[in-house]
Amino acid sequence: MSEKKNCECVQNVGCCVKECRYHNAADRCIAAHISVANENASRKGDTFCATFENRC
């Protein structure tokens, strides 16, 4: 089981996905970087956060 790293929210990205290990209590992403994926996207609903990891 991986432990959540103590990272500062430097990119100020909001996040409401409470099951992600990078979500914090202030509804912010605390990942060191984020990646948004789906090169075939043509609208917002087609994209997803490729940085998502399940909270263990």
- Domain extents in the chain: 1-56
Distance separating alpha carbons of residues 11 and 44, to the nearest angstrom? 20
Q: In this prediction, what percent of the chain has a pLDDT beyond 70?
A: 80
**Per-residue model confidence (pLDDT) at position 1:** 43
Per-residue pLDDT, 22: 95
Token pair listed for 1:
């089981």
What percent of the chain shows pLDDT beyond 90? Answer: 75
Interval 18-43: pLDDT, tens: 999 999 999 999 999 999 999 999 99
Q: Residue ranges of the alpha helices (H) in the chain?
A: none
